[in-house]
Structure 1
Amino acid sequence: KKVFFNPRLYSERKRVASKIKSGENIIIPFAGVGPFVLPAAGKGAKVYAIEINPDACACLRENIRINRLEGQITVIQDDFENLFHMLNSVKSSEKLVNTAFSDLSVCLNPENLEYEIIQVPENGFDRAIVPTPYGMDHFLGEISKLVRKEGYIHFYTFKAESQIPGLINEYEKMGLEVELYRRTGNVAPGISRWVFDLKK
Structure 2
Amino acid sequence: MTGGDRTGETGEAEGPVAPCVRVPRENGEETRRDLAEAGVLDDRYEITVEDGWIYVPVLEHPEGYEVVERPVTERDGQTTPADLLAFDPTYERLGDVVILDEEDPDRARRAAEAVMESDVPVATVVRRASEVQGELRLREFEVLAGDGTETVHREYGCEYLLDLQEVYFSPRLATERHRVAEQVRAGEQAFDMFAGVGPFVVPFAARGADCVGVDLNEAAVEYLRENCRRNGVVDLVTVHHGDVREIARDPEFGYEGWADRVVMNLPHSADEFLDTAVGLAGEDCLLHYYDIQSDEDPYGPGERAIREAAGPEYDVEVETRRTVRSHAPHELNVVLDVRLTR
Q: TM-score, normalised by structure 2?
A: 0.47
Residue 63 (1) aligns with residue 227 (2): yes
Aligned to 1:154: 288
Distance 2:239 2:256 in 1: 20
Change (3 A) 1:125 1:71: same
Distance 1:3 1:158 in 2: 20
Which aligned segments of 4 or more residues in structure 1 are displaced greater than 6 angstroms?
none
Question: Secondary structure, in 3 states, of the residue corresponding to 1:138?
Answer: helix
Deviations 1:128-176 (A, max 9, x none): 1111142342212220121112211111111113232344344345342
Alignment of 1:158-177 (within 5 A): 158-163=292-297, 164-173=299-308, 174=310, 175-177=315-317
Gaps spanning 5+ residues in structure 1: where? 91-103, 105-117
Question: Secondary structure, in 3 states, of the residue corresponding to 1:8?
Answer: helix
CA RMSD of aligned residues (A): 1.8
Q: Larger C-alpha radius of gyration, 1 or 2?
A: 2
Picking from 250, 258, 261, the partner of 1:124 is 258
Which one has more relative contact order, counting CA pairs under 8 Å at least 6 apart?
1
Question: Secondary structure, in 3 states, of the residue corresponding to 1:3?
Answer: coil
Change (3 A) 1:184 1:85: same
Distance 1:84 1:156 in 2: 19
Alignment of 1:40-51 (within 5 A): 40-51=204-215
**Length, aligned pairs only:** 170
Change (3 A) 1:121 1:68: same
- Structure whose residues are more often helix by fraction: 1
Alignment of 1:61-100 (within 5 A): 61-86=225-250, 90=251
Distance 1:66 1:34 in 2: 11
1:4 Cα deviation after fit: 1.2
Aligned to 1:11: 175
- 8 Å contact kept, 2:195–2:213: yes
Aligned to 1:199: 339
- 8 Å contact kept, 1:171–1:177: no
Residue 145 (1) aligns with residue 279 (2): yes
Question: Secondary structure, in 3 states, of the residue corresponding to 1:192?
Answer: strand
Q: Percent identity?
A: 31
Change (3 A) 1:5 1:137: same
Question: Secondary structure, in 3 states, of the residue corresponding to 1:176?
Answer: strand
Distance 2:255 2:301 in 1: 32
